[in-house]
Amino acid sequence: MNTRPYAAARATLSLTDKLAEINWGFVLLITVIASIGFAMLFSIAGGHFMPWSAPQIARFILGLGLLVVAAMIDIRRWMSLAYPFYGIAFLLTLVTTILTHGHLNGAHRWIMLGPLELQPSEFMKVSLVLALARYLHGLSVEDVSRPLKLAIPLAMIGVPAALVLAEPNLGTATILVADGCSLLFLAGLSWWWILPTITAVAAAVPFAFRFLHGYQRQRILTLLNPASDALGAGWNISQAEIAMGSGGFAGKGFEHGSQSRLNFLPEKETDFIFTTLGEEFGFIGAVGLLILFAIVIGYGIRIAMQSRSQFGRLLAMGITLNFFFYIMINAAMVMGLIPVVGIPMPLMSYGGTAMLSVMFGFGLLMSVHVHRQVEIPRAAGGLF
């Protein structure tokens, strides 16, 4: 179809071509967002690079390297790696879940890989997107809605999600399900499946509430009425709302956020970093960040639309939507719209695994972009 005479049109590209093909504007954009994160980490440390800002910068630089490497790798290579990745991620998740249940005190979502602490569920999200994209690549629109063909991706989504839920990590499980369902939707799942499912889920919510863990249920109840327990479980939400709201229109100024600086704000360097931004830079700062995020998402959607392979389209959209779900859940959570579920703000929150998995995801996105002209036969998709 596309006959424009530029390098990407060729089936194989040289390394230089590929480097040139990377969307450097996009890279600049995420660097700007990450830098805002560094600044916030610098601010809440009382104007110091330690203990948060400097390690975060190092991780981002590492992440940039990962991004470029991932972008260089041919999209067909990624397609062939999709199932092995998924398998590894699945095993790691399984091991983590089992290990977690060995610990009596619950939530232990980390495993040690040498000096690195790794949260396998982060890796799982990218792997799931990869695997689903590959599988759905082999299916026609009609195939997607066939029960036997649909059962496989549902299992690919459902089993790891159930494992993660059992860790217990409701936030990540939610994102896994959201990522997976989005890809099924984009692949053309019939409305005859979608509408009844939505109805059934909506009806099941009250029952599901019973099966939630005590602390998860408490978080939901707290959300509905934070003032009921202002010094206990409602503390996080109340203090986060105070911090965000007290930023006002223009904010209290850099390094002047009293709520975060004086530790009223919980988890200020990780899950609640968006609140710190809102406190110090106000409505302008917070909306500004959302706009930057929107541009990133816009880039992602455009990359997906430009890809000539279904695998590329689904992979790009999966990565982009995964990024979006992070933002949505985190922002809604710190602003008291949904219960606190422990999802970081991508590119902003302090944490190595999240940063690296997001950057790896963007690397895949770049790979789709670089190899957008590559056409892949439908037979390459499917289960085998």
Partner 1 sequence: MPLFDRKDKSRYATFTRRTVMMGGGVSAVLAVLGGRLYQLQIVNGELYMTRAEENRVNQRLLAPLRGRILDRFGTELAGNRRNYRVLLIPEQTSGGVEKALDTVGRIILLTPHDRERILHDIASNKKFVPATVAENLTWEEFSRVNLHLPYLSGIVPDVGETRDYPYGDVLSHVLGYVAAVSEKDMQADPNPVLSLPGFRIGKRGIEKAYDSAVRGKAGIDRVEVNAYGRVIRELSRDPGTPGSDIYLTIDNDLQRYAAARIGQESAAACVVMDVTNGDVLALVSTPGFDPNLFNVGIKDAQWKALTTDDHTPLVNKAISGTYPPGSTFKTTMALGAVDNGMADLVVDCTGSMRLGDHIFYCDAWRIGGHGHVDLQRGIQVSCDLFFYQVAMRLGIDKMEEVARTIGWGAPTGIELPGELAGFVPSRAWKRARFHEPWEEGETLVNGIGQGYMLATPIQLCMFAARIATGNAVWPSVTRVVGKAVQPRAVPKHLSFSDKAFAMVREGMRMAVNEPGGTAYGSRITEPGFEMAGKTGTAQVRRITRQERANGLTPQSKLPWKDREHALFIGFAPIENPRYALSVVVEHGGARSEPQVQLARDILFYAQKRQTAMLPTAYPTNAAELYVPPAGVAKS
List residues near partner 1 by CB under 8 A: 140-142, 182, 185-188, 239, 241-249, 258-259, 261-264, 278, 282-283, 286-287, 290, 293-294, 297, 301, 304-305, 310, 313-314, 317, 321, 324, 328, 331-332, 335, 337, 375, 377-379
Give the nearest distance from C-beta 310 to partner 1 in angstroms.
6
User: Helix, strand, or coil here: 228?
Assistant: helix
Nearer to partner 1, 37 or 282 (CB): 282
Residue 355: burial class (beta carbons within 10 Å; 0-12, 13-18, 19+): buried
Nearer to partner 1, 314 or 368 (CB): 314
Nearer to partner 1, 33 or 72 (CB): 33
Give the nearest distance from C-beta 92 to partner 1 in angstroms.
29
Residue 187: burial class (beta carbons within 10 Å; 0-12, 13-18, 19+): buried
Nearer to partner 1, 157 or 187 (CB): 187
Q: DSSP alpha helices (H): ranges in the chain?
A: 15-21, 24-44, 53-72, 75-102, 120-137, 141-144, 147-166, 170-186, 191-211, 214-224, 234-246, 258-261, 273-306, 310-334, 352-370
Is the distance from CB of 73 to CB of 367 less than 8 angstroms? yes
Residue 172: name the closest of 78, 107, 218 by CA. Answer: 107
Give the nearest distance from C-beta 277 to partner 1 in angstroms.
11
User: Helix, strand, or coil here: 375?
Assistant: coil
C-alpha distances in Å from residue 328, one per residue of 257, 282, 290, 304, 338: 23, 19, 10, 20, 10
As a whole number of angstroms, the distance between CA 216 and CA 173 comes to 13
Nearer to partner 1, 4 or 210 (CB): 4
Give the nearest distance from C-beta 107 to partner 1 in angstroms.
23
Give the nearest distance from C-beta 282 to partner 1 in angstroms.
6
Give the nearest distance from C-beta 239 to partner 1 in angstroms.
8
Nearer to partner 1, 27 or 194 (CB): 194
Helix axes 273-306, 352-370, angle to 10 degrees: 20
- Cβ neighbors of 263 (< 8 A, separation 6 or more) are none
The H or E element containing residue 111 is: strand 111-113
Give the nearest distance from C-beta 333 to partner 1 in angstroms.
11
Nearer to partner 1, 91 or 141 (CB): 141
Nearer to partner 1, 184 or 356 (CB): 184
Give the nearest distance from C-beta 67 to partner 1 in angstroms.
22
In the beta sheet, which residues pair with residue 116? 113
Residue type present at position 233:
A
